[in-house]
Structure 1
Amino acid sequence: MAMPIRIYPLCRWAGRTVSSLSAGHRQEVSLSARRRFISTSTGDNPQFRLNERTAHSSLDLFKKDTGIIYRMLGLDPSQVQDDPERFREWAVVLADKKISSGRHYWEVTVKKSQEFRLGVAEALMSRDECVGTNSSSWVFGYAQRKWFAMTNSKVVPVTLVGKPDRVGILLDYEAGILGLVDTEKPRIIHTLRAQFIAPVCPAFGLWDGELLTHSGLEEPEGL
């Protein structure tokens, strides 16, 4: 049995850093390079935008609410419209798409960021917690030049991937699968398994640089 491995991805809260520890097993799935087209009109893979009402005050939305930029100082929280959907302590934003069934695929372009998280979270998760630190969110993250998978503060190192400019996320709600996809091969680099029992939204955490989301895309065949 493989020995546990400890890594220390960071998540910033009100100017502080919090370390998350744990371990797990890796899974890699090789895939065909062929691609199939999924029409967005079927409803299987619709487009989404980022929900400004959920965005922490340090995050600015741009490009018609499909991208986010981290501002080191951010906005004065007292100047941001009070909204119960807004993340109050963590630099997190959710998409406006609630998913409760089906298979969904989207991609994210990473620009000048060395610390971010990508995945899904229950639409009603606590706005006082960070994605990946509870049992209602599942993410892939990058920090300290290392990738990891994370849920409920349990961290699993993800290998066989460097610092790509663009990655894919595959969600199969009924199968309970969230996959990190190498868009160049294409292949699933790592799989998180879960039992989804409530609607989830694409979720993003960002602590520097910017992210741009791409939804309503083709899905690589075989994912």
Structure 2
Amino acid sequence: MAASIGASSRVWVLLGRSVSALHRQPVGLSATRSFVSTSTINNLQFRLDERTAHSSLDLFKKDTGVIYRMLGLDPSHVPNNPERFRDWAVVFGDEEISGGRHYWEVTVKKSWEFRVGVAEALMSRDDCVGTNGSSWVFGYAQRKWFAMTNNKMVPVTLVGKPDRVGILLDFEAGVLGLVDAEKPRIIHTMKARFKTPLCPAFGLWNGELLTHSGLEEPQRLK
């Protein structure tokens, strides 16, 4: 069974940590302004990698969507891949990113507890995305958004919940942005030093997510 963190106050006290400013990866760099760099723009195309999916997650729509099953499968009934997440309902995209500027979107309207972002391809499969220094995510729980890395959360000011959000990654600039895809506009950015290949990363504890890759970055964000 997946470890769920959505009831009552469980997200805001995950592993006993309180909401605070990020230390090594500061968050909150110009929440509504686009960022500019000289990185090469790429139309990243990926699917979800079943080899990494926790046993409570089912992939659908040609591995572009993921749905959470509360009971899930007995872990002994899925292939024992070393890439698979063992304790947390997490799945990675099947493409690694080692440079450039990339944009993809996620339909989130059918979930009320999730995390979306990036993680180092070699991140420990015993951890959850956002709880270590190898992953950078934007999450939603208890009707609130937050940015998270290294187990530190920062609230993200956002009115309501878009049906679809975008993720804008600039590897060389070390910037990850959360985008309201319906506007479009950058809601919040995180700053980090990306040193090793990254993968699109997703955590899910309710409902379903649908990914959309191979997209052009919206002109208004450039």
**TM-score scaled by length of structure 2:** 0.86
State the partner residue of 2:155: 157
> How far apart are the structure 2 equivalents of 1:73 and 1:181?
32
For 1:135-174, list aligned pairs within 5 A. Answer: 135-174=133-172
Structure with the higher fraction of residues in strand conformation: 1
Shift of 1:111: 3.6
Q: 1:29 aligns with which of 32, 42, 45?
A: 32
- Does the CA contact (< 8 Å) of 1:22 and 1:155 recur in 2? yes
Q: Distance in 1 between matches of 2:185 and 2:102?
A: 15
2:162, 2:182 within 8 Å by CA — same for their partners in 1? no
How far did residue 19 of structure 1 move?
5.2
The amino acid of 2:59's aligned partner reads L
Instruction: Give the Cα separation in 1 of the matches to 2:181 and 2:215.
Output: 12
Partner of 1:54: 52
Aligned residues of 2:148 and 2:154 also touching (Cα < 8 A): yes
1:10 equivalent in structure 2:
11
Change in CA separation of 1:20 and 1:205 when aligned onto 2, cut-off 3 Å: farther
Q: TM-score, normalised by structure 1?
A: 0.85
- Inter-partner Cα distance in structure 2 for 1:43 and 1:189: 20
1:127 aligns with 2:125: yes
Task: Name the CA shift for 1:95/1:169 in 2 (closer, same or farther; >3 Å).
Answer: same
User: Are the counterparts in 2 of residues 9 and 144 from structure 1 also a CA contact under 8 Å?
Assistant: no
| 1-structure distance, mates of 2:209, 2:190 | 22
Could you tell me how far apart the structure 2 residues matched to 1:192 and 1:68 are?
25
In structure 2, distance between residues paired with 1:84 and 1:143: 29
Residue 91 (1) aligns with residue 89 (2): yes
Aligned-residue offset at 1:200 = 0.3
Contact residue 105 and residue 219 of structure 1 kept, 8 A:
yes
Contact 2:41 2:102 in 1 (8 A): no
Let me know the Cα RMSD of the aligned residues.
1.8
Aligned-pair CA distance for 1:165:
0.7
Cα distance in structure 1, aligned partners of 2:184 and 2:41: 23
Task: Sort the Cα spacing of 1:200 and 1:161 in 2 relative to 1 into closer, same or farther, 3 A.
Answer: farther
Deviation at 1:29, TM superposition (A): 2.4
Q: Distance in 2 between matches of 1:152 and 1:60?
A: 27
Closer, same or farther: CA 113–126 of 1 in aligned 2, 3 Å: same
1:22 deviation in Å? 2.8
* Paired residue secondary structure (2:42): coil
Distance of 2:160 and 2:33 partners within structure 1: 17
Displacement of 1:9: 6.0
Q: Which 5+ residue runs of structure 2 have no aligned equivalent? A: 1-8, 22-26, 35-39
Contact 2:92 2:200 in 1 (8 A): yes
Per-residue CA distance 1:119-158 (angstroms, 9 max, x = gap): 0000000000000000000000001110000000111000
Amino acid at match of 1:131: V
